[in-house]
Amino acid sequence: MRESDNLMDRRGFIRRAAGAGVLIATSALPVVADEETPAIAADVFPKRGQYERLSISYAVVEIGAERPFSVLHISDTHLTAAYAHENDKKQQLCSSRTTTFGGHQEEALRDTLAWARQHVDYVVHTGDLIDWQSEANFDLVRKYFGDTLVGSMGNHEFSTDMWLSDPKEEKTEAYKDNTRERLQQVYPFDVCFQSKVLHGVNFITLDNVYSYVTEKQIELFIREVKRGLPIVLCMHVPFFTPLIWRASMRFWRDNGPMTYSEVPTATGDFLIQQEDIVTRDFIRYLKTEPLLRCILAGHEHITVEDQFSPTCREYVVGGNFLFCGREVLFL
């Protein structure tokens, strides 16, 4: 879905493009985010600031914007709700996965959005807002973002029942087709690819939840490049550099001491990006595209950044369920 290139202020953006762009203007965030008092804040930090438990990092991107504006980038909230009437698989997932993510994901999201209302112009969420599909999780999506939820899909968005799924989940377009239409009804943006121009900057979002991209997405991306605007690419899985891959493996694997020069062997997502011909060639092209100026990604649950190309820096943000976010100032 695409809108006009005309500049819009926060409220003008929402009036004219509700749900149709890559970002959500903070003026449209729910008031509930400001009115509800987080339980943990009072218990753990009784004499501290309202938002001190948030872990907000910062970045500045000189991108040639028509005017400065700020974005709060969040990812991986992993909401784990299920209504009592939902089936046994949903109940089992609700119990086990809520324990996995600490049980405060909704509070983390609420706190983060409340902070965003006061401090930034827009919010972008790069996937795994929910941990698996349920009526309750979809209602939480509507509660906090309503018709203006925008961002990118994560691999968990496509998960029906995780390891309990029958048939078993597959990392294919055919598997995503099983629930793509349902997700499209909940998330009012094109779940495969979309573009939004803000203040002379083209924010492009694509679905790369299983690490690969499709030829159709590349065709759409090339079409956007022809517009001649600086590009911010928003997606769930980072395009791994050796440094980002190393940081991910340090977090997810206990390999003992490792020198900075050592890069673990590519597996999983990184290996797919190296072996899938379409994706590999697209990444090679991106490294030569001067209009690509910034990449925003999540998935790894860590905060790390690296230079992706001579003109582009890639920012991976930590899990929102851990109260993480990153403010990016675009100049």
- Sign of the alpha-carbon dihedral angle for 245, 55, 63, 214: positive
CATH topology classification for 10-330: Transcription Regulator spoIIAA (3.30.750)
Residue 260 has pLDDT above 90, yes or no: no
Rounded CA-CA distance 247/173 in Å is 29
DSSP letters along 85-112, please? TS-HHHHHHHHHHHHHHTT-HHHHHHHH
* Predicted local distance difference test score (pLDDT) of residue 22: 52
Mean pLDDT for all residues in the chain:
87
DSSP letters along 5-73, please? S----HHHHHHHHTTTSSSEEGGGS-THHHHSPPHHHHHH-TTS-TTTT-EEEEEEE----SS-EEEEE
Stretch 297-310: mean pLDDT = 98
Nearest to 195 by CA among 142, 168, 235, 236: 235
Higher pLDDT: 30 or 163? It is 163
Percentage of the chain with pLDDT > 90? 73
Higher pLDDT: 296 or 50? It is 296
Higher pLDDT: 51 or 134? It is 134
Nearest to 234 by CA among 204, 190, 279, 195: 204
pLDDT band at residue 6 using 50, 70 and 90 as cut-offs: very low
Residue 100 has pLDDT above 50, yes or no: yes
Cite the DSSP H helix spans in the chain.
10-17, 32-35, 39-44, 88-101, 105-119, 135-145, 173-177, 180-186, 215-225, 242-252, 268-275, 277-286
Return the SS3 of 80: coil
Nearest to 109 by CA among 79, 87, 66, 135: 79
Stretch 17-33: mean pLDDT = 57
- The string of pLDDT tens digits covering residues 147-194 is 555 589 999 999 999 999 987 999 999 999 999 999 999 987 789 999
Highest mean pLDDT among 11-25, 184-198, 222-236, 258-272: 222-236
| Cβ within 8 Å of residue 322, ≥6 positions away | 55, 108, 301
